[in-house]
């Protein structure tokens, strides 16, 4: 028992050191770390072997510390919950995250196998990296192995996320052990089919899992983010969770590496650089048998027994709906709106309404109209206005009139939105407007009316519960109402 506990005590000591660190400092450390990595990358061709190795070593240690800091809340539970020994967890292939913007020369997925026969059967398999004698890669690998040796003592078999003992999982250096289920839950969707299979299996064994986050809930990560707890991207990037024998295209492998690297990268600068990267299509074809999981509105997710060990201040009464989704209209169809508990929580007093709620209610109104009225009304969704009035990048000196190039560009962006529909045949067009944290409604009446016809006058009504913010002069980039 004491032997089994030892790794946790070591871990606890390290965590204790980190426990008082301010989250602000963590962000600073992250930025610093990122800067250093960039520096190494830039200079890796000019540095000597020794210098490079030293730099990587330093970096590795830092990264470790940073991870620890950001994980401190979760790790705290590890301290509180002593392990009871258990079978030795098989270790999984460690993948060094790959930075997407690394130069082509260094673009390789570094896979270090921690030992013979330790590769998990169903784990994410990164094909043997094209090491090609590349200096940074091999050094990194070496360093990883060293680090791994160092960290092995700290690992256990208790999952950090669900606090259960698992024999299937992955070990993260300086962090601990994450079981497969949590790993998958975090990488929700990254391995849809695999996850689907796993879920089925879980259901079959009446397996209790996921107290905190559900991959189908769109906001499952939020509480953790707020508390500075588990870094949400930390275990991401399992783009492929198929068996080792499964052939895999090189592109997919690289993607997998790239995705893995999203951990601890939340900086805006990073985001931008990622966006700027290659325009190669990302292949998402790893699993061919997308099992049709429980559809929206299904009770399957909620039916799973749930256990919450944590008192989570961020969970409201909506928690009991967690994992549920509702599709409106229930039969689906084009433009159906999916509502999650997080959306429902926005109906509470003093909460902001979001686009889903607006779209839902507009749809709800439409569905309940008499048939003859339905045909005369068209409801745009809440993004129409935003898309229509998006900055087109055209010079402001251009003709801003209804027939000018700006208007043409605006129309171009949304012309597909109403394909197969003649909006000028409608009597009323409803356009929800969102701007400056405020919603208002524009109703276009008789858009196609003949000017000669005095019985039907084209006009627009703007319903706004507040004055000022949605005044045409500050709202419209295209033309005045």
Partner 1 sequence: MAETDQKPDINASEHVNIRVVAQDGNVVQFKIKKKAQLRKLMTAYTERLGLQEGSVIFLYDGLRIQREQTPNDLGMEEEAQLEVMMAQEGGG
Residue 180 or 359 with smaller CB distance to partner 1: 359
Stretch that binds partner 1, among 48-56, 116-124, 136-144, 276-284 (CB under 8 A): 276-284
Yes or no: say if 23 and 228 are a contact pair by the CB < 8 Å rule.
yes
Classify residue 16 by its DSSP letter. H
284 binds partner 1 (CB under 8 A): yes
Yes or no: say if 298 and 327 are a contact pair by the CB < 8 Å rule.
no
14-73: contacts with partner 1 (CB under 8 A): none
How many CB atoms within 10 Å of residue 470? 22
CA dist., res. 476 & res. 481, Å (int): 8
146 token code pair: 């060293």
How many CB atoms within 10 Å of residue 166? 20
3-state secondary structure of 411: helix
457-476: contacts with partner 1 (CB under 8 A): 465
353 binds partner 1 (CB under 8 A): yes
Stretch that binds partner 1, among 89-97, 121-129, 232-240, 453-461 (CB under 8 A): 232-240
Q: Minimal distance in Å, beta carbon 58 to partner 1?
A: 25
Position among 8, 172, 236, 379 found at the interface with partner 1 (CB under 8 A): 236
Position among 80, 437, 451, 467 found at the interface with partner 1 (CB under 8 A): 437
Yes or no: say if 459 and 445 are a contact pair by the CB < 8 Å rule.
yes
331 binds partner 1 (CB under 8 A): no
CA dist., res. 113 & res. 278, Å (int): 29
Position among 57, 150, 386, 477 found at the interface with partner 1 (CB under 8 A): 386
95 binds partner 1 (CB under 8 A): no
Stretch that binds partner 1, among 39-47, 152-160, 364-372, 428-436 (CB under 8 A): 428-436
Residue 79 or 225 with smaller CB distance to partner 1: 225
359 binds partner 1 (CB under 8 A): yes
- Tell me the pairing of strands 94-96 and 110-112: antiparallel
Position among 417, 460, 477, 478 found at the interface with partner 1 (CB under 8 A): 417
CA dist., res. 363 & res. 202, Å (int): 36
Position among 62, 138, 145, 266 found at the interface with partner 1 (CB under 8 A): 266
Position among 135, 438, 462, 477 found at the interface with partner 1 (CB under 8 A): 438
How many CB atoms within 10 Å of residue 1? 9
Residue 249 or 457 with smaller CB distance to partner 1: 249
Residue 298 or 400 with smaller CB distance to partner 1: 298
CA dist., res. 92 & res. 112, Å (int): 10
- Residue 21's contacts (CB-CB under 8 Å, 6 or more residues apart) are 69, 72
Q: Which of 180, 165, 182, 196 is closest to 124 using CA atoms?
A: 180
Angle at 473 between CA 470 and CA 477, to 5 degrees: 95
Stretch that binds partner 1, among 49-57, 91-99, 177-185, 266-274 (CB under 8 A): 266-274
Position among 262, 318, 339, 429 found at the interface with partner 1 (CB under 8 A): 262
Q: Minimal distance in Å, beta carbon 100 to partner 1?
A: 8
Q: Which of 253, 273, 264, 224 is closest to 74 using CA atoms?
A: 224
Q: What is the dihedral of CA 46, 270, 114, 159, to 10 degrees?
A: 150
Position among 46, 132, 279, 397 found at the interface with partner 1 (CB under 8 A): 279
CA dist., res. 138 & res. 44, Å (int): 13
328 binds partner 1 (CB under 8 A): no
CA dist., res. 445 & res. 456, Å (int): 9
364-383: contacts with partner 1 (CB under 8 A): 381-383
Binding characters for partner 1, 184-223, by CB under 8 A (x = yes) = ---xxxx-x-----------------------x-xxxxx-
103-142: contacts with partner 1 (CB under 8 A): none
- # binding residues, partner 1 (CB under 8 A): 78
Classify residue 169 by its DSSP letter. E
Q: Minimal distance in Å, beta carbon 413 to partner 1?
A: 9
């Amino acid at each position: 028992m004491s032997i089994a506990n030892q790794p946790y005590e070591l871990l606890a000591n390290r965590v204790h050191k980190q426990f008082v660190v301010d989250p602000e400092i963590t962000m600073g450390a992250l930025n610093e770390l990122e800067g250093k990595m960039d520096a190494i990358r830039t200079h890796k061709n000019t540095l000597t072997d020794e210098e490079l190795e030293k730099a990587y070593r330093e970096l590795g240690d830092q990264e470790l510390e940073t991870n620890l800091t950001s994980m401190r809340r979760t790790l705290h539970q590890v301290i509180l919950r002593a392990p009871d020994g258990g079978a030795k967890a098989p270790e999984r292939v460690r993948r060094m995250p790959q930075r997407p913007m690394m130069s082509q020369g260094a673009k390789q997925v570094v896979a270090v196998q921690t030992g013979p026969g330790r590769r998990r059967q169903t784990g994410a398999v990164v094909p043997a990296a094209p090491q090609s004698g590349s200096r940074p890669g091999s050094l990194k690998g070496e360093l990883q192995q060293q680090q791994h040796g160092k960290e092995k003592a700290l690992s256990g078999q208790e999952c950090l996320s669900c606090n259960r003992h698992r024999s299937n999982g992955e070990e993260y250096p300086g962090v601990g052990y994450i079981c497969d289920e949590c790993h998958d839950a975090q990488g929700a969707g990254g391995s849809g089919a695999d996850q689907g299979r796993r879920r089925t299996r879980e259901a079959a064994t009446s397996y209790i899992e996921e107290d905190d986050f559900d991959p189908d809930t769109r906001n499952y990560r939020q509480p953790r983010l707020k508390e500075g707890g588990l870094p949400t991207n930390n275990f991401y990037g399992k783009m492929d969770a198929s068996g080792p024998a499964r052939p895999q295209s090189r592109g997919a492998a690289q993607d997998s590496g790239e995705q893995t690297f999203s951990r601890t990268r939340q900086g805006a600068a990073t985001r931008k650089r990622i966006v700027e990267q290659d325009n190669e299509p990302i292949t998402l074809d790893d699993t061919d048998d997308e099992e049709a999981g429980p559809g929206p509105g299904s009770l399957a997710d909620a039916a799973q027994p749930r256990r919450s060990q944590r008192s989570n201040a961020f969970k409201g009464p909506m928690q009991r709906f967690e994992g549920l989704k509702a599709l409106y209209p229930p039969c689906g169809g084009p433009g159906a709106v999916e509502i999650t508990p997080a959306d429902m929580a926005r109906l509470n007093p003093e909460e902001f309404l979001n686009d889903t709620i607006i779209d839902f209610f507009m749809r709800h109104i439409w569905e309940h109209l008499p048939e003859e009225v339905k045909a005369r009304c068209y409801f745009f969704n809440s993004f129409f206005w935003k898309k229509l009035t998006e900055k087109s990048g055209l010079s402001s000196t251009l003709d801003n009139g209804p027939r000018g190039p700006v208007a043409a560009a605006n129309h171009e962006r949304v012309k597909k939105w109403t394909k197969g529909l003649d909006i000028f045949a409608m009597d009323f067009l409803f356009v929800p407007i969102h701007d400056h944290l405020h919603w208002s409604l524009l109703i276009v009446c008789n858009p196609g009316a003949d000017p000669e016809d005095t019985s039907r006058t084209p006009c627009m009504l703007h319903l706004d519960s507040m004055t000022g913010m949605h005044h045409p002069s500050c709202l419209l980039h295209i033309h005045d109402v």
